[in-house]
Amino acid sequence: MTRQVEVTSDVHIGDGLPFTLMAGPCVIEDLELCRMICREVQRITCELGIPYIFKASFDKANRTSVQSFRGDGMQAGLDVLAAIKAEFGVPVVTDVHQADQCAAVGEVADVIQIPAFLCRQTDLLIAAGETGRVVNIKKGQFMAPEDIAQAVRKVESTGNNRILVTERGVSFGYHNLVVDFRSLPIMAAASGVPVVFDATHAVQQPAAQGHATGGTREYVPHLAKAAVAVGIDALFLEVHPDPKNAMSDAATVLNLADLSELLATLKRIEDAVS
């Protein structure tokens, strides 16, 4: 069993608690879209009794093409996240890419997320840990599951034990990822911290479209069901009301209209295996 991490007084993750949902658009497109998504996801999670953390990135610094939309910048993005927190009373999670972003992001975000490609960057992990906020480390596509423990130790070196780790698949040949569900208990045992499963990035086909990342959205529900059956502390989903026109990860974001049915199924699976 993993340690319990307090995100806010109302949201705790780990230690055998029911799973928490992290969900929202891949990138902050505008405030109104974020408001609409947060309102609907909050409605669904309240009905199902699922703790909820709103997710959106202010900058997608690792897009395939230099022409891809990255966001409107850190300050504009943090303003949107602060507005979401104030209006809906939910905690928020967002990514950082540079150590010097962490202090400012920590003033707004309840959870600071380390992108998978950057999970070995010592200065970034330490800067995130020094904020005192929860740090969610996404395991790199190039890493064995037990190796995530070393990234956790880097954050712990700051005195911050509020840490999560996320599985999002590993590279498997060209333009493909695969999830080995053994990784979930391995990561938990190696790190001792709550484990998150990212069901939408796990179906990516990196750079498969040449100018953009492809993906197989239709498999998101299958992976999410398997992860909950194995046992996870939180589920990460990117959702959008119009996936084909999403400004980032259009091939993998879950249609917001499909979220309610999926979460209800996941709760039944969790109840059955608990």
Per-residue pLDDT reduced to its tens digit, 54-77: 999 998 777 666 767 788 899 999
Q: pLDDT, tens digit, for every residue of 230-259?
A: 999 999 999 999 999 999 989 999 999 999
What rounded mean pLDDT belongs to the chain?
Answer: 95
**Residue partners of 254: CB distance under 8 A and separation at least 6:** 199, 200, 217, 220, 237, 238, 239, 240, 243, 262
**Minimal CA–CA distance to 28: which of 54, 58, 55?**
58
| Per-residue pLDDT at 65 | 65
Nearest-angstrom CA–CA distance, 98 and 40: 32
8 confidence band (pLDDT: 50, 70, 90): very high
End-to-end CA distance of the chain: 13
Q: Is 166's pLDDT higher than 70?
A: yes
| Per-residue pLDDT at 199 | 98
Q: Is 24's pLDDT higher than 80?
A: yes
| Per-residue pLDDT at 212 | 65
Specify the CATH number of the domain 5-273. 3.20.20.70
Kindly state the percentage of the chain with pLDDT values over 90: 88
| Per-residue pLDDT at 210 | 55
Q: Would you say how long the chain is, in residues?
A: 274
Q: pLDDT, tens digit, for every residue of 83-115?
A: 999 999 999 999 999 999 999 999 999 999 999
